A and B are shown apart, each in its own frame.
Chain A
Amino acid sequence: MNCDAVDELLAAYALDAVDDDERAAIEAHLATCDRHEDMGELLATAGGLALLAEDREPSLGLGPRLLASAQPDETRAPRRSGRVLPFRWLGAAAAAVVLVAAGFGAGAVLSRGGNESLVQVVSTDGALVRAEATPGEAPVKVTLSGLRRRPEGEGYQVWVVRDDAWVSVGICNTNENGWWQGDFDFALDDEDLLAVTVEPSGGSTRPSGEVVLIASGGGSAD
């Protein structure tokens, strides 16, 4: 695509009114040609149109659904070749249940991904625990984030509340970024509810320290 052709399409491009081939051609051109100075302004103007849409509140389940599908892994499997359908993965088949612990302001989501894995996320402002497993089978992959590293002699113990009893999943500590991920040799069940407490680094047989995250049965969405 030459400069004139790009200029002719620049407004359409800024408004997302070009097809994929045109977009690719324009972007390839712009990457090597700096003669289209008004591009930035046109993009900015078109983007500003977003402000004319009225704000709307999405459904309660969307945030937990997003968190459940966001893979926190730092090293992930090689990317797919071909297409990936993020919406389909959590499509109609993935029932999302929002659990609320009224006293804690914690939300959790249980969802089944297309691969039949069970994902549970509990988050509060700034802190999050995520567990993913094949139901009834060890291990469970656990991620903590937004939790300040505990000092020497302490750790975060991950639990599930199962039939009103607390069952230990494992104990760990976060890094300086407040992050931890690893597998525990533990079989997660559908009905389990995640919790995280602060415990001595050897772990406790029942929770004794501060409960930093907990999901508990409450209202459910859909």
Chain B
Amino acid sequence: MDHSESSVSAATSALSGAGIGDPSPPAGRVTGEGEAASPAIDDRELARRLQQRDASALASLYRAYRRRAFGLAYRVLGDAPAAEDAVHAAFLALWERADRIDPDGGKLGALVLTVVHRRAVDLARSRARSQQREAPRSADGDDLDVDPSTGIPDERAQQAFARVLDDEEATRRRLSAALARLPEAQRAVVELAYFEGLTHRAIAERLGLPDGTVKSRLRLGLGHLRDALKTREEGA
């Protein structure tokens, strides 16, 4: 239960995936302390190694994106164990179906986040379903009907998403500002959809609105956000 300071950092570094492209064994006794900053991840190389079923590539991928992935799943699911299940399932799906990764698709991070989001949403919905069916009690995952092959977007989608991550900081700033500027009615449906994992029908039910209204608010809202990102591309 109690971790000493050193065991925590040692285990963390155990999963850090430095050494991409250099398969040499770690130099025995010198690892563990003062790990150099890991080299920038070469996504194409990493994708290739995942496709070769090189487990250390999975460790590298996990190490590089675990915080962001877990942060996203936590935002959707609101509790750590479920969020970890979603992250676990997402990375495992990427591992199992590495053949579907487009090595030229750009940032693997975009792919990771897409799959994590899908997993988190699937999990949120099956949790909601099982709570509807029976008295709420601890869901142990037995009802999670998730096909591990799903959730990896097609190549076109991989490339499109990768573009917005080219400049993460700018994307984050612009999206956040644009979201705040959206009319409340649009912002609410976009957030319920993306961050709470609700379908358009579930949103309609929750807000007491016609389904068509929700769908058009989602269109308008996401359209505004898209335009805000476009402005960036045009204006410098």
> Footprint of B on A, CB under 8 Å?
8-12, 14-19, 27, 30-31, 38-60, 62-67, 69-70, 72-74, 83-88, 90-92, 98, 100-107, 123-128, 130, 143, 145-148, 177-179, 198, 210-213, 218-219, 221-222
Contacts and interface: CB of A to CB of B under 8 A. Distances in A.
B68 A55 contact: yes
A91 B140 contact: yes
19 contacts: A8-B216, A11-B221, A15-B222, A17-B193, A47-B114, A51-B172, A55-B71, A58-B80, A74-B53, A102-B6, A102-B32, A104-B26, A105-B31, A105-B35, A107-B10, A123-B55, A125-B16, A126-B59, A219-B8
Contacts of B33: 105
Contact of A49 (B74, B194, B218): B194
B210 interface: no
B88 A55 contact: no
Contacts of A218: 7, 10
Contact of B3 (A27, A92, A221): A221
B110 A47 contact: yes
Nearest to B13: A105
Interface of B: 1-4, 6-8, 10-20, 22-26, 28-29, 31-33, 35, 38, 52-56, 58-60, 62-63, 66-68, 70-72, 74-76, 80, 83-85, 87-89, 91-93, 95, 110, 113-114, 116-118, 121, 140-142, 144-148, 153-154, 156-157, 159-161, 163-165, 168, 171-172, 175-176, 179, 190, 193-195, 197-201, 203, 215-216, 218-219, 221-223, 225-226, 229-230
Contacts of A51: 165, 168, 171-172, 175
A58 B83 CA distance: 9
A12 B193 contact: yes
A59 B84 contact: yes
Contacts of B28: 104, 210-212
Contact of B223 (A11, A48, A221): A11
Nearest to A209: B28
B222 A124 contact: no
Main secondary structure of the interface of B (DSSP, over half): helix
B228 to A, nearest CB: 8
Contacts of B147: 83-84
Contacts of B71: 53-56
A177 B66 CA distance: 25
B75 A53 contact: yes
